[in-house]
Structure 1
């Protein structure tokens, strides 16, 4: 199966980086998440919602946290993407790993489990472009 991977150096502590993925207020600031339900522990929920209107939710990503260490790692399994104009896509996994290096952190993100055909191809191409762009903005956000 296909995957999207991004690695970069961020001038921040691992704890600050992981917190930005589990703190709903911080997710609003860097990822424009409008609502989040996150229980940061193994077995906990990880649900993000964008574009809320009177008609409902625009986009939802949701999964179950299988590994959480506030100093180094967040792994979400059974990760699904819901879009009212596309097929339901999943399950996938999302892995965030951070380790201290020099005066900052080595950051690694991997979203995998993409299948082929139909909306899967559209989603893979969209995410393959979106994650690198978003994480460069994330880097600026975290470092400021």
Structure 2
């Protein structure tokens, strides 16, 4: 199993960054790396609640990310399992921390239980692209 941790300072209060991460209308503005974008998002923000987020790829296909929330502590922490596509039988686990920082919010994304290093590297590029768009949204 592999894992990755990314940290980014976002120039907005953590309550605002938490909302951007958890409200579908905000997710659609930044989710997806590079030219990938989010045409549809569903979030039931409670322990046991499910989420489903679409990534529309450049070729027009859609890749879904989904799972359920294991921890919801607004505006400081989220923990949720992470399925890629419709046939992913072994979910990984994502923990997101929203920490107060002098410049806004220190965002920490810890993605664990990833099947192998190649998949970890792919997720790492995806997360970096998403975090860049989130940062740009508040720049």
Task: Please list every run of at least 4 consecutive aligned residues from structure 1 whose deviation after the TM superposition is greater than 4 angstroms.
Answer: none
Gaps of 5+ in 1: none
Matched-pair contact (CA < 8 Å) for 2:70–2:79: yes
Counterparts of 1:99 and 1:135, CA distance in 2 = 15
The equivalent residue for 1:111 is: 111
Counterparts of 2:124 and 2:41, CA distance in 1 = 23
SS at match of 1:46: strand
Matched-pair contact (CA < 8 Å) for 1:2–1:113: yes
Counterparts of 1:132 and 1:48, CA distance in 2 = 17
The answer as to 2:65 corresponding to 1:51 is no
Matched-pair contact (CA < 8 Å) for 1:46–1:76: no
1:81 to 81, 84, 102: 84
Counterparts of 2:54 and 2:130, CA distance in 1 = 16
Query: Bigger radius of gyration, 1 or 2?
Result: 1
Give the structure, 1 or 2, with the largest relative contact order (CA under 8 Å, sep 6 or more). Answer: 2
1:33 to 22, 25, 38: 38
- TM-score, normalised via structure 1 length: 0.80
Give the deviation of 1:122 after TM superposition. Answer: 4.4
**1:1-144 correspondence runs (5 A):** 1-31=1-31, 32-51=37-56, 58-77=62-81, 79-82=82-85, 88=88, 90-116=90-116, 122-141=118-137, 143-144=138-139
Change (3 A) 1:4 1:134: same
Give the deviation of 1:88 after TM superposition. Answer: 2.4
Give the deviation of 1:123 after TM superposition. Answer: 3.0
Counterparts of 1:137 and 1:58, CA distance in 2 = 19
State the number of aligned residues: 132
Matched-pair contact (CA < 8 Å) for 2:8–2:107: yes
